Chain A
């Protein structure tokens, strides 16, 4: 087993036993569920909205070259720059070069999961640049030196007491149990950063081909300040974020908001198409869009899994996932937790090391049911499992086990024989009170759970007896 997998199992066991942690996550998701329930009532037909979103993303993803080129041309016409990055390293390089050339010492960032994916902040900090996360949740986890816990709600795992303690420790603020006061503390602190930073970095929820604009969605207004005040602006995003037309947003904005938080629409939906123009009051001098591939074009080439690129990163599948609800976001040890992360990560970081995530699912399909763009998430988890087997990444013990299983299942006699052997062995082990010990082959199950008593007879025996068959 790989280290990432071992680490995952260790953390998952630890987190699922942490009842306080589960309580906080449950509280958050209950609030979310109630909000989404209310939000959906504002749609005349939620299923039609999902279908429209699917149609839009399908059109864009299946003609990705055309729409990206249209977008690029428009941005250039409006005085912006577009850089295509093969991987995280190229993207980091480009952004760090822009920062060095323009004398940037401080960066304000609004939420960008791609920046987490490519570890941008760490690279800039190495250059001596101060990077400040400005989304409140991101700011909190940054102060804790933690990655975001959730792609929409980065500090979901913390309560006000923990935030207050953190602000006292790191910012020298007075302790308070009052959430509005905590927000005010962050606002005052971050204001200074917005006005002293030379560069603003944002992600993009969508990039719009016909308008040559990127759109970012925030409730707090931090994304607006990041894209308005600093003199250099960078929008960092994945190539799959493109959509054909501006009016597609008439469906995508409300659907993303409702699936993401239950809101009818997010507070601020901002469109940015370039640097400040002649005659405009303010805005950055330079505008750069960095389009990151990082494995996405390979996913595009996989017809079976191409639709994973439709993801609009709403987080609904994460909230719906019973595994996430019990182990939380950090146990996954990757940028994108939950079902979408388990599907996507093997493509971004390599299947052999991250195939274990495909098994972090009960295959209940709750993720597929809630996905606003109709991605068949649990089928893709199965595809990943199959692909990993075909790639031969499973252990020789597992291979041997499956061979024996096959051999057993191919004949009724062998099946009967193995069944009675297994029953006897387990009855002996349990009779000797070895249940859950290292000698128990069922230990992964029995170490935390009581096993039911093993019957002497098989179903087949019982059936024959009751029906008088000999």
Chain B
């Protein structure tokens, strides 16, 4: 938008510039450590997952991961599965879809009626039991649309806390490479009626992390 179409821009900026010529007083206070350091990230991640209702399955190798994912899929009603088109997921997923239709992200966004989506992630955060995803993980809808979201991650992706997660975002250019980034913590929920916690408002009711220790 050219500024000619938006004359208010200069007016607003002019007022702001004039105002901030003088700086407001700053209140000083304690500057200690805000969160206790996370000493055992894997243990902390698993505990946080229990608390925020994420199903976390730690697997030893690729075969165990494939079996874990197959197990989850077997428990779901019939219907299409959507997966991020990544070589690792191609290797893991083919062979256990039980003849279910499988749509890859290279074919476009997931169908609204998908039974589950399977994606990778950018990082896992132990401090809050969170999963960092981006548009690269199968698109924006891939991680929100289905009642079940399965995330495949490796132990090397686990960072201790949010500070470390943002350090990784900068290092790997996650925010500059993607138009969309989301930190997911637990399954979709609402407490808008009488403050009663109810799972599965608009996003996934089940969030499953398959966390592979090796490879």
The CA-CA distance from A453 to B158 in the complex, in Å, is 71
| Segment of A113-121, A264-272, A381-389, A405-413 engaged in the interface with chain B | A264-272
Please determine whether B165 and A250 come into contact, CB atoms closer than 8 angstroms: yes
- Residues of chain B within 8 A (CB-CB) of A280 are 135-136, 139-140, 178-180
| Segment of B23-31, B55-63, B88-96 engaged in the interface with chain A | B23-31
Looking at the assembled complex, report how far the CB atom of B135 sits from the nearest CB atom of chain A, in whole angstroms.
5
- Residues of chain B within 8 A (CB-CB) of A64 are 16, 19-20
Chain A to chain B contacts (Cβ below 8 Å), 23 pairs: A27-B195, A43-B35, A45-B30, A45-B33, A45-B34, A51-B27, A58-B27, A78-B179, A136-B192, A137-B192, A182-B193, A187-B201, A221-B203, A250-B166, A267-B189, A269-B182, A272-B180, A280-B178, A281-B140, A283-B140, A291-B12, A297-B16, A306-B24
Smallest CB-CB separation from B3: which chain A residue?
Answer: A84
The CA-CA distance from A298 to B12 in the complex, in Å, is 10
**A-B complex: 8 closest residue pairs judged by Cβ atoms:** A221-B203, A281-B139, A220-B201, A228-B140, A250-B162, A51-B29, A221-B202, A137-B192
Given contacts A224-B144, A250-B166, A272-B179, contact A281 B105 (CB under 8 A): yes
The CA-CA distance from A163 to B18 in the complex, in Å, is 49
Given contacts A48-B31, A62-B23, A246-B166, contact A270 B182 (CB under 8 A): yes
Smallest CB-CB separation from B161: which chain A residue?
Answer: A250
Is there a chain A Cβ closer than 8 Å to B181's Cβ? yes
Looking at the assembled complex, report how far the CB atom of B136 sits from the nearest CB atom of chain A, in whole angstroms.
8
Is there a chain A Cβ closer than 8 Å to B8's Cβ? yes
The CA-CA distance from A80 to B29 in the complex, in Å, is 39
Per-position 1/0 for A131-147, Cβ under 8 A of B: 00011110010000000
Given contacts A51-B30, A82-B1, A254-B162, contact A225 B16 (CB under 8 A): no
- Scoring A27, A183, A239, A298 by chain B CB atoms within 10 A of each residue's CB, the highest score goes to A183
Please determine whether A52 and B34 come into contact, CB atoms closer than 8 angstroms: yes
The CA-CA distance from A54 to B105 in the complex, in Å, is 42
- Residues of chain B within 8 A (CB-CB) of A86 are 8, 11-12
Task: Among A137, A163, A270, A307, point to the contact of B180 (Cβ < 8 A).
Answer: A270
The CA-CA distance from A63 to B142 in the complex, in Å, is 38
- Residues of chain A within 8 A (CB-CB) of B189 are 219-220, 267
- Judged by DSSP, the binding face of B is loop
Is there a chain A Cβ closer than 8 Å to B108's Cβ? yes
Per-position 1/0 for A179-219, Cβ under 8 A of B: 11011001100110011000000000000000101000001
Please determine whether B179 and A276 come into contact, CB atoms closer than 8 angstroms: yes
Looking at the assembled complex, report how far the CB atom of B117 sits from the nearest CB atom of chain A, in whole angstroms.
11
Interface size class on chain B is 35 or more
- Scoring B23, B145, B190 by chain A CB atoms within 10 A of each residue's CB, the highest score goes to B190
Given contacts A220-B201, A250-B161, contact A268 B184 (CB under 8 A): yes
Please determine whether B1 and A81 come into contact, CB atoms closer than 8 angstroms: yes
A-B contacts, CB under 8 A, total:
276
Q: Which residues of B contact A (CB under 8 A)?
A: 1, 6, 8-9, 11-13, 15-20, 22-24, 26-36, 48, 51-52, 105, 108-109, 112, 128, 130, 135-136, 138-142, 144-145, 161-163, 165-167, 169-170, 175-176, 178-196, 198, 200-204
- Residues of chain B within 8 A (CB-CB) of A32 are 195
Smallest CB-CB separation from B35: which chain A residue?
Answer: A44
Please determine whether A160 and B193 come into contact, CB atoms closer than 8 angstroms: yes
The CA-CA distance from A114 to B184 in the complex, in Å, is 25
